[in-house]
Structures are given as C-alpha cells and as structure tokens.
Structure 1
Amino acid sequence: MTDFEKAIETGRPPNVAKLFPNSKALIVSGKYIDLAMLRKGNAVSMAANGRNHMVIRGALKAAQRANSVIIIEIAKSEGGANAYCAVNYWNIARQVDAICNELNITIPVAIHADHYGIKNETDIEAAKTEIPTLFDAGMTSIAIDASHMPDDKNLLASLELCPFVPKWAGYETEVGEIKGKEGLSTVEEALFLIQGLNAHNIFPNWIALNNGTTHGIEASGQGIQVELTKEIHEALAKYNVSGAQHGTSGNSSDRLKEIVAKTRTTKANVATALQMISWGLEVNDYGNAQLNKDGNFIKVKDAGVTETLWAEMTAHAKEKGLKRGNYKKLSLPFENKLLGQPKEIRERMVTRVEDFVYNMLVNVLNAQDTAPIAIETILKTGSYDPGPKAERIENPDEWTPEKIVERAASIVSDKGAEGDFDD
C-alpha cells in the first residue's frame, strides 16, 4: 500500500468519508495544509476561490503538477444562501471530490468555507443552524468572520459559534475588514482577539488582517503592508497562529514573495484573478484584468470563453449596470453556459487557470512539493485530526463576557469607512 493510499484510509475526516465512501480523493482538514507550510518554512498555500467549475479544475491540476497541497474555497457572498456563484457551500466539496477522482489528483486538498460573515445577532442565530450544514456537505475548514462588528462583539460572536465547528476542522478568524489602506488592523486588536479565543481553548490556524489589500480589482497599488503584517505576526508568535492573506489578487509577485519570506503567512486567497483568467481576459502579473482606453476589459482572442459568449456576457453586464468589479455577478447566470461550451473551449479555460496557479505555487508562494510533507504528517499523526498547534496560556477568568466588553472599550482603532467588503 502506498503512502497516499494509507493517507486516504486515515486522513479523511468523518464527514468526507461518509459522503464519499469509495473516493480516492484526499480531502483533509485545513489544519494539515497549514502544518505542511510551516514544516516546509516560508511557504504559503493558495486558497483558490472556485467561482466556476473550470477554476476548480485548473487549480487542482496546477497543484498536482506542482506536487503541492491546495485549498479550494468559496466565500459566503459567493456561495452562501444569497450567492452570486453557482458553486456554493453545499456543492463545492462534491465538485472537488468528483474532479479529483476523474483526473487522478493525488495531493491533499482542503475545502474551506471562507468569509462566513457575521454582521449582527440575527446572523449568529442563523449560523448555529447553517454552519453544521456546511460540514454535512463536506467542508473541512471555515473562516468565521465577525470582523464587521466592534472588537468585543467580534470575539463574543466567535466564542458563541466555535462550538458548532468540528474540533478537527481548520479554523480561521479575522480582525479588521479587508478594505485597503483605511481601517488597518493593529497589534492591539489582533492580540485582543487571539488572547480571548485562547482563554477559551480556541486555537485558530489562521488570522486574517486588514493589512492594506482590497477584495476584487486592486488598482491603487497600495497593496499588502508587509511590515505591518510582520509586526502583528511577531506579536502573536507565542499563540502559534499563522496568517491568512486576503486580497491577494492585485499584488505583484515581488510583494507576495515578501509576505512569504518575512511573515508567518501560510494561506493566500486568490479569487478575482482566477475568474478573469478563466474567462480569457488580459491580466498583468498581479492577476488584475487590464482595461482598454474606453475602460473596458480586454478579451484575448482564442483564450477563455468563446467570443460569442463573451459578447453575451458583456451585453448582460451592460443591461444590469454591472461595472468592472461587479462582473463577478455574471458567475451565477452564466455557469451553465460556460459548461455548455465545446470541450476544447472548456479545456482552454482550465489550462489558462492551471498555468497561472502553477506559476504562483512554484515561483511565488514556495508551495512546491508540500504534498508529500502533508501526507507524511497525516501518517505520523495516524488521524484525520492533528490536534491544536497551541495550548491555553490565557486565564479564562480574565476573559468573561463582561471583562471582554470592558477590555474592548480601551482599544483605540480606526475601522475605516462603512461599506460592503465581503469578498
């Protein structure tokens, strides 16, 4: 029996084994992805947002080619109850499993529910029902994101919802919405969140910060604040939490290499770039879609979707008043039309994504050859759950709900402008 076959037997969480009893796809806890990056050192896993089926296929093929682990994810705004993508929280694991078996993908893959957003008390109550359904559907990792709320409410919401996440699952927390140069996260805010979780025996794999990036199309050049990220990660070092880099699309390779080399980041989300690349739009090194002199996207001839379908997509966007970043809302109405294109067109969409992801994994994120590291860790652990990376060092008596509210009142921070910063 090969190491891969042994890992299939022991490394798949119970929800995955139940859903896919005859599968040869190595779908694992997000914890193992984080651990593989830490073991290699100065390595970051891509978390590819699978906004369409071809993106998922291309990302998985790239990871196989790079012998790298990978995370396939979808955010609440993209794939939740009010989704703008056909790929969603409840079908993404089935798509990943099917593709892995079809294409003989033999690298470890985690399925991540990204940006599970909590904005108010009503969201908290709904989440108590909905979060278990995500794991019923094959999720192996989640980001509970209550960063839209004040610091005390962010922490308290996380404490209330963590019991609904399986202990074996990967877990990401967030401080500060991802909104560019405004509302940058601080050491004080990050420590408050991680210390409060630690006091209650909750040990996140990742923390996401507002470190200067935006979701979607990044045109400002502001990008990742590397030194700020490094400072916050160093302050959190004794809590053994890794960084999750959001808003990766729009940052140059050089800046991303700095994040890899200088911080404790082990997860980098890539979403908009992969969508644009799959469609066949011209992009730069950043993954940003380029615009012509009239401010319109540039479609590369004989790349991505057919010219006929692209004309239909742009006409639909114009009719609905969708501008640039909001082209993402073409995902849901056009998914079946994307799948209904000729095989050679679908395959060129996949290949375009594969080549972009492969380059990032190998030449930017230093993730090449992390698959054997993850498999070795699974076999050494002998379980689908490697356990927590940290232990409790904070006194729970100092982190009661009353003391959390009291502590938060003394935090000085600028949350930035109000708005919709979900993905």
Structure 2
Amino acid sequence: MATRDFERALEVGRPPNVKRLFPNSKALIVSGKVIDRALLKKGKAMTIAANGRNYFVIRGALLAAQRANAAIIIEIAKSEGGRNAYCAINFWNLARITDQLMNELGITVPVAIHADHYGIKKKEDVEAAKIEIPSIFDAGITSIAIDASHMNDDENLLANIELSPYVPTWAGYETEVGEIKGKEGLSTPEEALFLIKGLNAHNIFPDWIALNNGTTHGIQDSDQGIQVALTQEIHKALEPYKLSGAQHGTSGNSSERLKEIAQKTNTTKANVATALQMLSWGVEVNDYGNAVLNEDGTPKKIPGEGVTEELWEEMLSYAKEKGLKGGNFKKLNLPFENKLLGQSREVRERMAKRVEDFVYHLLTDVFNATDTAQLAIDLICEKGSYDLGPKAERIENPEEWTEEKIREKAKAISRDRGPEGDFDD
C-alpha cells in the first residue's frame, strides 16, 4: 500500500463522527459504502463482517485483514450489543475499541464499524430508534442494518422510510427482507422488489440487502445451508437498483458453499459470529464453522488452545447452572469478559491468533477479498471524500408509493413466514 495514498485517505476518508471522536488517530475507519464498493470493484468477492462478541475476535479479525490486505467490517448486532446486550462489546464502545486496536497494531486497511440487525419488531420500536440511532453514530458507527423484517412487508418498508432520515447519508445502509430462520419462510423476489422499489421511490438507496436465503444463526442442526440459486434469482431481480447482498448466518455452511456465494451472487458482505466466538475460546470448529460437540452436547475444547482449562471448566459450570446449551453459549460472553481479559498475555495472544488464522483463511481462500484494501483507498482518493454517494438513482414514481398504496400493494404479497422463534443473531 502506497504511504502517500494511505495518508491522503486518512485525511479525507474518515467520516465526520470518526474525526470528531478520534482527532489524532491513524486508523482508517470508513463508511460501509467504501467497503462495499471495494469488493464490487474487485468482482466476485466479499469480505467478512466479523461480529466482535469479545475483544479477542476484534483483535484477531483486524490482524487477519492486515495480513490479507483486505478491507473489512467489524460489527455488533443489537441483540449482542444493544440495550439488552449479552456481550460487553456494544454499539457505544465498538468504534473506540477498534480504533485503539488499529493504532496499537499498526492496522492500515480500511475498516467499517457496522451496527448489525438494528431490530424493529413492532411500531413502538420506531420512536425509540429515532433517539438511539443518532446516539450510536455519535459513538462512531459508520454503517447500519435497519432490520424490520420481523414485521409485515408494509410495516418493514414504512419503518425503513421513517428511520432513513436518522442515518447519515454518507453511512453504509443495509436493509432486510424475510426473517433469518433457516428453511422456513424463505425470501422471495416479489417481497424483495416490494421493499426496494418502495425505498427507491422515497430516494432511499441501500447498499446491501439481507435475505432469508436458507440460513439460521448460531450452532446449526443441519447442513441445508444457503440457497445459492434463490439468492441469484433475487439479486438478478434487483439489478436495476444496484444492491449488493449481505449474507447472514454463514455458520453451518462449508467453504465451498461460501465460495459459491462469492462467485455466483452479488454478495459483498458475509457475517461471521458464532464461529469466531468459539475459536477465541479454544473450541474445535469444523469447516462449516460449527463447534464440534462432546457426547454431552457441550463444545469440545482443544487442550492448550483458547482460554485456560481452569477458566473453561468455570464457563461450563456456569452454563450448566444457567441451563445454557448450543447456541445459547453466546450468553457466556458478558459474565466472562473480564475474566477472559484477565488471563496471561500468552493465553490472550493465542485466543486472538486462532481467530486471526480462521479469518485470514476466509478472506484469502474463500471470500476472494485479498488486496481489496488498496481498492478501497483508491476509491476514497478518487472521490476526495468519505462520502461515495449512492450507487443507484430514483427510477420509481413516488406517487405510486404513498403509505396508502404501500399498504394496498402489500396485501397482494404471498409469503409464508414459518414458525416463530429466536433468530436475533
């Protein structure tokens, strides 16, 4: 990476909230738009959106990105790091921790800070979001996913329209159609077009769309995985609106399946959460990103990897006492964060190293993200700004997308949402 290019990007590429918070920083924290465009410029490539459930995940992911010279995203979901968080990392400290680590480690690749799954599950959530969303941008967030997919299609669209003014125009913007819940209630081209056409009519141009294309979150019970053909079909239907895909729930999918997503769809962002958490703890993880389980259903810890054996036994005892199994091991993050940080340097470094090696493999061998850092810097320098502007332009008639007409159009959409469940992250 050319030093002059990096210095120029650092000067003009950091959004105003980041410059205000970290005036003397040498960390190139950028809008999510920059990351998306860099992957598009390379073509048939996506990068990791690493869910920073603990400090070691963030550290390892940043080191991997530097090794791969890849632009990446560090994120936390509302369930992980919102008001009712189960992680010590949250919307309000994620940028600060990332900036500190980037300066400490000499990280020069561009990094976006993403608020994932900012969930809107009922109309009342919209009013609270009007206060909270500006607060997380005040704290250094540079990209957000407005996820109102839990509601009916008309309410999803109307919530996105109502909240759009609270998201800076320069920021990365993700929207979602179809709750993430495995094989049940898969997204359709019809409902994706409904959402994106309605947003387009209101001069709202998301960078990414997340689909329910056959994934669930956490530890998986089957290997059905991502439906590549369905994803292709929906992305093809959305081509006039110039969206990229955001792939959620990558755990439970093999490297080959993820390569297909990168090569055959318009996806540029792939969320990885549970696998990174397990890796940092020292749990054995297979090629599908799933924890290998013992006969009693507990994650299989590799001796001498991750946390100490004594701390792992304490974590298992706590999980048993609280009735935590499978994917709910995620709820160990908050009560054990300080104990994880309080281990010896050797242990802390091996925790981050496991994450680093796994993420490096994804970036270089699976996602085709190598050397996208320079592409991102080139885009900033060419534009001379942190704001790359929208990819699309308005092609829909706003008169056809009033609230009354939105509700009428939604009635014609046929979609089976499947059974209810806990599908937050």
For the superposition of Structure 1 and Structure 2, which TM-score range results when normalised by the shorter chain? over 0.9
Check if 1:392 corresponds to 2:408: no
Distance 1:260 1:324 in 2: 28
Distance 1:156 1:234 in 2: 24
CA contact (8 A) 2:73 2:114 kept: yes
Aligned to 1:114: 116
Check if 1:37 corresponds to 2:35: no
Residues 338-394 of structure 1, C-alpha deviations (whole Å, 9 max, x = no match): 000000000000000000000000000000000000000000000000000000000
Q: CA deviation at 1:293?
A: 2.3
From 234, 259, 262, the equivalent of 2:261 is 259
RMSD: 0.6
Aligned to 2:86: 84
Partner SS, residue 368 of structure 2: coil
From 321, 324, 330, the equivalent of 2:323 is 321
Percent of aligned positions that are identical: 74
Distance 2:80 2:284 in 1: 23
Aligned to 2:57: 55
Partner SS, residue 17 of structure 1: helix
Letter in 2 for 1:216: G
Partner SS, residue 2 of structure 1: helix
May I ask how many residue pairs the two structures share in their alignment?
423
Distance 1:420 1:291 in 2: 21
Aligned to 1:330: 332
Aligned to 1:304: 306
Aligned to 2:135: 133
Distance 2:374 2:417 in 1: 41
Distance 1:385 1:416 in 2: 39
Q: CA deviation at 1:84?
A: 0.1
Aligned to 1:162: 164
Letter in 2 for 1:258: E
- Structure 1 stretches of 4+ moved >3 Å: none
Partner SS, residue 195 of structure 2: helix
Distance 2:143 2:296 in 1: 42
Letter in 2 for 1:236: L
Distance 2:104 2:299 in 1: 34
Partner SS, residue 98 of structure 1: helix
Partner SS, residue 315 of structure 1: helix
Distance 1:419 1:249 in 2: 18
Q: CA deviation at 1:294?
A: 2.5
Distance 2:221 2:62 in 1: 28
Q: CA deviation at 1:298?
A: 0.7
Distance 2:205 2:329 in 1: 37
Distance 1:296 1:29 in 2: 39
Letter in 2 for 1:82: N
Distance 1:381 1:358 in 2: 29
From 14, 17, 21, the equivalent of 2:16 is 14
Letter in 1 for 2:35: I
Aligned to 2:154: 152
Letter in 2 for 1:378: I
From 206, 216, 241, the equivalent of 2:208 is 206
Distance 2:248 2:240 in 1: 23
From 72, 75, 82, the equivalent of 2:74 is 72
Distance 1:217 1:193 in 2: 30
Q: CA deviation at 1:156?
A: 0.2
Distance 1:297 1:418 in 2: 26
Distance 2:407 2:421 in 1: 24
Aligned to 2:221: 219
Distance 2:47 2:207 in 1: 13
Aligned to 1:247: 249
Distance 1:164 1:420 in 2: 27
Residues 152-193 of structure 1, C-alpha deviations (whole Å, 9 max, x = no match): 000000000010000000000000010000000000000000
Aligned to 1:123: 125
From 93, 96, 99, the equivalent of 1:94 is 96
Aligned to 2:423: 421
Q: CA deviation at 1:219?
A: 2.6
Letter in 1 for 2:133: I
Q: CA deviation at 1:296?
A: 2.1
Letter in 2 for 1:257: K
Unaligned runs of 5+ in 2: none
Partner SS, residue 384 of structure 1: coil
TM-score, normalised to structure 2, is 0.99
Residues 375-423 of structure 1, C-alpha deviations (whole Å, 9 max, x = no match): 0000000000000000000000000000000000000111111122110
Distance 1:45 1:170 in 2: 14
Q: CA deviation at 1:295?
A: 2.0
Letter in 2 for 1:194: I
CA contact (8 A) 2:298 2:325 kept: no
TM-score, normalised to structure 1, is 0.99
Q: CA deviation at 1:268?
A: 0.2
